[in-house]
């Protein structure tokens, strides 16, 4: 997957995050049945019976019903969604923050499952599987040379806890072929993408989602950064974070707000209001805080940004967030499928609803608002952000904030249009990077740690020139070469050190982080 911060990739990510949704911490186990006294239930059951018995062609009534449910929910709001049973497990795993399997990040290379990184703490590391290993066979199922798609691979590697899968592995680094038994276990899907010190006094934590394990990961990262004893400020990066559980978001907010400060309140269709307040347990109530947001910061992420902004805690930096102020709850349909139904709206402490407008006609234009933001110029110019005077609110210290469609940042940073590469370069760079690391893995691993790699790798541009020579028919401009150099280095770091390596290098020219350092130096 390409990791540059292109709008199209972040848009896909945020739609997935919003599809996952935001629910109450206690999931109600609703079961629906077509058997009952309701005339509407009888009507639907009769229709299904008529189709099964009398319709002229053979029809899969399960698929028919799935389609009908999807259409029905589409007439409600953009975030009430149907989850078919074949997709529910994956969605649930994302929200719980773990799955049962062997624990590897992989990529299909020349029709072979190639391990990019074994996941930290997972069964594969314990079994001795390493980056660059090819998985050829799993329990007598040949996996190489079968043109498997990436989404077909997990069914061979996942399974029930404590079951064993026998893998045949080819290790290129020593040209060996061997078998290894891996006992499947719980594998953590990390929520904290990155946590490190930007300088001696400013810490940085990037949150990917608000899953069940996110708060624990966040606290671990925060405590690790605080151990150096010099951290006075923290950057909380919520860019591209599509949301998750409200209670997890509230717990993280609680780390920054004083006792009894209002965090968020929800209101259901009966007008019932439920409020959440900060407690006395916060570990970073006195420190300085910067919150980074963008157009794909959504849902629970907006609860965090809104709560901190309305309580005059920290500085919100970036661009207007997505604008999702609806709360979903998962309801079991009894056959392994489920619906995520909107059951309430949430409001920031000043009373703002940040839900952007939507219709009840299928919501076809709802996810196209990104294009509108491009056309009206708001990704480049602060003055182009729409504001509605009637939705103006005031924080305790007198700062003016707005409702009606996302969180407007305190400090605007335009989208960086100078860092884009087209898909051709993404594909060729990723392929080149893997081949380069795969060929030189031993010497690279021995020579480089991450900090030295960031500072000193390819200072003579030898690797860059090798890549450019392989392009042959394409000659990038001098400006494009600079972008290629950074992405190439980041892609190689990703194959060597994982996501941390990729993000650290891409962030060396991050406009929002540069703004943080600028604001900090002026204080």
Evaluate whether 493 touches 450 at the Cβ level (below 8 Å).
yes
Identify whether 382 is a catalytic site residue.
no
Evaluate whether 491 touches 435 at the Cβ level (below 8 Å).
no
Q: How many CB atoms lie within 10 A of CB 44?
A: 14
Structure tokens belonging to residue 37: 């006294």
Evaluate whether 297 touches 239 at the Cβ level (below 8 Å).
yes
Three-point CA angle 144, 145, 149, nearest 5°: 75
Question: How many whole angstroms separate alpha carbon 277 and alpha carbon 393?
Answer: 20
Under the phi-then-psi rule, with left for phi > 0, alpha for psi from -120 to 50, and beta for the rest, what region is 139?
left
Question: How many whole angstroms separate alpha carbon 498 and alpha carbon 521?
Answer: 31
3-state secondary structure 168-186: EEEEHHHCEEEEEEEECEE
Which distant-in-sequence residues (6+ apart) come within 8 Å of 87 by Cβ? none
Catalytic residue among 254, 310, 495, 510: 310
Question: Please, is 36 exposed, middle or buried when counting C-beta atoms within 10 Å of its C-beta (0-12, 13-18, 19+)?
Answer: exposed
Structure tokens belonging to residue 444: 């690279």
Identify whether 310 is a catalytic site residue.
yes
Catalytic residue among 324, 356, 489, 515: 324
Per DSSP, the three-state class of 208 is coil
Chain centre distance of CA 517: 25
Q: CA nearest 437: which of 203, 131, 99?
A: 131
Catalytic residue among 299, 301, 337, 353: 299
Q: What share of the chain is helix, strand, coil (3-state, %, to 5)?
A: 40, 20, 40
Identify whether 141 is a catalytic site residue.
no
What's 198's DSSP letter?
Answer: S
Partners of 108 in beta bridges: 113
Q: Could you give the residue numbers annotated as active site?
A: 299, 310, 324
């Amino acid at each position: 997957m390409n990791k540059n911060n292109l709008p199209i990739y972040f848009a896909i990510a945020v739609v997935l995050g919003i599809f996952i949704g935001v629910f109450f911490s206690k999931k109600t186990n609703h079961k629906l049945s077509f058997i009952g006294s309701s005339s509407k239930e009888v009507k639907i059951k009769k229709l299904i019976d008529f189709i099964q018995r009398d319709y002229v062609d053979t029809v899969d009534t399960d698929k028919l019903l799935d389609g009908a449910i999807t259409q029905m929910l589409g007439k409600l709001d953009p975030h009430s969604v149907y989850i078919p049973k074949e997709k529910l497990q994956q969605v649930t795993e994302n929200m719980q923050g773990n799955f049962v399997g062997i624990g590897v990040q992989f990529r299909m290379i020349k029709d072979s499952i190639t391990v990019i990184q074994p996941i930290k703490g997972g069964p594969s590391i314990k079994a001795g599987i390493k980056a660059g290993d090819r998985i050829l066979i799993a329990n007598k199922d040949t996996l190489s040379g079968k043109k498997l798609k990436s989404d077909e691979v997990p069914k061979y590697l996942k399974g029930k806890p404590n079951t064993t899968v026998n893998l045949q592995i080819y290790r290129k680094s020593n040209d060996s072929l061997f078998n290894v038994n891996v006992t499947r276990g719980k594998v953590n899907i990390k929520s904290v993408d990155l946590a490190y010190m930007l300088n001696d006094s400013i810490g940085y934590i990037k949150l990917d989602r608000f899953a069940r394990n996110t708060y624990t990961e966040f606290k671990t990262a925060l405590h690790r950064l605080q151990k150096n004893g010099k951290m006075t400020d923290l950057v909380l990066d919520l860019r591209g974070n599509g949301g998750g559980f409200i209670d997890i978001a509230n717990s993280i907010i609680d780390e920054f707000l004083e006792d009894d400060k209002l965090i968020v309140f929800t209101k259901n269709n009966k007008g019932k209001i439920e409020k959440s307040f900060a407690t006395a347990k916060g570990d970073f109530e006195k420190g300085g805080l910067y919150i980074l947001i963008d157009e794909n910061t959504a849902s629970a992420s907006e609860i965090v940004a809104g709560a901190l902004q309305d309580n005059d805690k920290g500085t919100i930096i970036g661009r207007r967030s997505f604008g999702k102020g609806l709360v979903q709850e998962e309801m079991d349909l009894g056959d392994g499928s489920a619906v995520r139904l909107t059951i309430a709206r949430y409001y920031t402490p000043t009373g703002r609803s940040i839900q952007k407008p939507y219709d009840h006609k299928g919501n076809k234009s709802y996810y196209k608002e990104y294009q509108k933001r491009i056309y009206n110029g708001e990704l480049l110019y602060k003055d182009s952000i729409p504001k509605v005077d009637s939705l103006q609110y005031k924080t305790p210290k007198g700062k003016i904030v707005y409702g009606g469609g996302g969180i407007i940042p305190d400090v605007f940073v335009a989208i960086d249009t100078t860092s884009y590469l087209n898909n051709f370069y993404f594909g060729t760079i990723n392929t080149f990077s893997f081949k380069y690391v795969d060929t030189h893995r031993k010497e690279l691993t021995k020579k480089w740690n991450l900090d030295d790699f960031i500072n000193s790798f390819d200072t003579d541009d030898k690797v860059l020139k090798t890549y450019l020579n392989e392009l042959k028919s394409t000659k990038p401009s001098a400006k494009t070469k600079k972008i290629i150099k950074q992405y190439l280095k980041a892609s190689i770091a990703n194959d060597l050190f994982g996501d941390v390596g990729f993000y650290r290098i891409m962030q060396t020219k991050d406009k929002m982080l540069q703004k943080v350092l600028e604001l900090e130096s002026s204080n």
